[in-house]
Structure 1
Amino acid sequence: MKAPSSPPSGESPIERDSKSPVFAAEFKDAVTLRAFGLVLGGLLVQLAFIVSYVGAFHSPTPHRIAVAVAAPQQASAKIVAQLNALSDDPVKATAAPSAETARQWVLTRKTDAAFLFDAAGTKDTLLVASAGGPSVSQTATQIAQKIETAQKRQITVSDIRPPNAGDGRGMTSFYLVVGWVIGGYLTATIMGMAAGTRPANRQRTLIRLAVLAVYAAVSGIAGAAVVGPVFGALDGHFWALSGIGALVVLASAATALALQTLLGLLGTGLVILLFVVLGNPSSGGVYPAPLLPAFWSAIGQALPPGAGTTLVRNTVYFSGHAVTSAVWVLGAYAVGGAVLAWVASWRNERRHPNAPATEPETLPEPSPAG
């Protein structure tokens, strides 16, 4: 009986098979151009994530922190000029007619801090509101202490609006909004995936928007319950936070639905780019706008994470002051996303006129006889 021949050149059967035409065909089928594009897209999103977060947070530098100055007229003009002449523009000083006005400017978010000059002595006061961003309050304090030491004066810092005891570093607003935003676009994405590969039509889009609106309302109430009654971080504003949450979730979900209906898988990537890669680091949750580089500072309040964080913080801690632009931004994403989703589905209908309006019914296969 003839013994089987051994593989040439000492190759194992596995190595030999890996070079066979079958393996090559399998490899070609597995590593398609689409698969390569998806992997490349994932790599680009990953790098964008790293660049965005490191770029925003690696070196926080104060830039034009708004400060009110309350002092006698002659001293006020001199102090304002000195502050505005500081190298690299760390603060933007504005004269306030009185100490009480300067205090109100801080509480209504017109300024981040207030400098009260003591004309009769050498002990001045700096008013801050760390609930609006502890890092800005700390930076303003450091700048004031440095200037006062150079002038041989003393400064007393008074935090007139600190975060709640359960809010720690004042980050609850940011974490709450991040959860709402992620929940909104993930739910829209899951609904789109559940529909398969067929293009969405107008009727299905309206149904999805209605479901997302209900989900947004439930999500808003759930989030408000977690930060309020459950953990006591943002107590006393349950229904206001519920409404804000519904608006944030609907803005995120409607925008995601629109981009995914319009662009397919590319739309999902664009949603992640806008809301996570760019939106989170620029939101002001970790470092408020005066400490961020120019690019992130400029875009932060134009995206749902930033607008939502500002809306929650200013509602809870500052009696709803300075929230108008945030409401308009979120409303624009919610309404604009819904309209764009409907228009994109109408375009799909025109491009795919023979697509069924509803899911085809699947009949059970007949059981074998016997």
Structure 2
Amino acid sequence: MTTVVVAAVGAGLVLAGILQGLFGALQGSFWLKAAACAVTIAAIAATVTGFAGLLGPAGVGLGAAFTMLFANPLSAAALPVEFLLQPWGAIGQLLPPGAAATLLRSLSHFLDAATAGQWTVLLLWAAAGLALTLVDLPARRLRAGQTAAEHPLTV
């Protein structure tokens, strides 16, 4: 859990530095964009680790597939959310990639746009994922004397 938070903060700073400083793709407050990137990375990473906490090793693959194959196409990152059929556009905004794309777009280009909804979605996904990471289901527990090496990660 600590690893997700620390990695998200570090990666958020690096990502915002590259997007704003190197590419010039983002405008405005660097620290606000870095916070948005960090929360986005935390939400997506926590979702994957949450699936792993809930389902065991297979959850890693399921979490990654959920993010890449379901959440990303509905994110409206490359086009306005209104271009997606309803209710898919609205559903996409309730998933981390969609909320992140709208948040970064609003923070960079539409300074007067309300962003509380996107921040809330990302923080809720991060909190839920981190909570599920801590799930200790009896079926996943190792029996006394077993090591994790005896149970390889398979998907």
Quickly name the TM-score band, shorter chain normalised: 0.7 to 0.9
Residue 232 of structure 1: aligned partner: 24
Residue 83 of structure 2: aligned partner: 291
Inter-partner Cα distance in structure 2 for 1:333 and 1:236 = 26
Inter-partner Cα distance in structure 2 for 1:355 and 1:310 = 49
Alignment of 1:1-370 (within 5 A): 209-319=1-111, 321-342=113-134, 344=135, 346-348=136-138, 351-354=141-144
- Give every structure 1 segment of 4 or more consecutive aligned residues whose post-TM-superposition deviation is greater than 3 Å: 348-353, 355-359
Give the 3 Å change call, closer, same or farther, for CA 355–244 of structure 1 in structure 2. Answer: farther
How many residues end up aligned between the 2 structures?
Answer: 149
Inter-partner Cα distance in structure 2 for 1:302 and 1:337 = 14
Listed as ranges, the gaps of 5+ residues in structure 2 are 150-155
Inter-partner Cα distance in structure 1 for 2:11 and 2:140 = 35
Letter of the aligned partner of 2:54 in structure 1?
L
- Calculate the TM-score normalised by the size of structure 1: 0.37
Inter-partner Cα distance in structure 2 for 1:358 and 1:349 = 14
Q: 1:201-259 CA distances to partner (integer Å, 9 max, x unpaired)?
A: xxxxxxxx111211101100001111111122213321111101110111111111111
Residue 152 of structure 2: aligned partner: none
Residue 40 of structure 1: aligned partner: none
Q: 1:285-320 CA distances to partner (integer Å, 9 max, x unpaired)?
A: 122221112242131111100000111111111225
Q: Cα offset for 1:356?
A: 6.4
Q: Cα offset for 1:280?
A: 1.5
What SS does the corresponding residue of 1:290 show, helix, strand or coil?
helix
Inter-partner Cα distance in structure 2 for 1:245 and 1:221 = 7
Letter of the aligned partner of 2:58 in structure 1?
L
Give the 3 Å change call, closer, same or farther, for CA 357–264 of structure 1 in structure 2. Answer: closer
Inter-partner Cα distance in structure 2 for 1:295 and 1:355 = 50
Inter-partner Cα distance in structure 1 for 2:80 and 2:42 = 24
What SS does the corresponding residue of 2:137 show, helix, strand or coil?
helix
Inter-partner Cα distance in structure 2 for 1:277 and 1:247 = 21
Task: Tell me if structure 1 keeps the 8 A contact 2:27–2:109.
Answer: no
What SS does the corresponding residue of 1:277 show, helix, strand or coil?
helix
Structure richer in helix, relative to its length:
2
Task: Tell me if structure 1 keeps the 8 A contact 2:48–2:60.
Answer: yes
- How much is the aligned-residue C-alpha RMSD, in angstroms? 2.3
- Calculate the TM-score normalised by the size of structure 2: 0.84
Inter-partner Cα distance in structure 2 for 1:283 and 1:261 = 25
Listed as ranges, the gaps of 5+ residues in structure 1 are 1-208, 360-370
Give the 3 Å change call, closer, same or farther, for CA 283–358 of structure 1 in structure 2. Answer: closer
Letter of the aligned partner of 1:220 in structure 2?
G
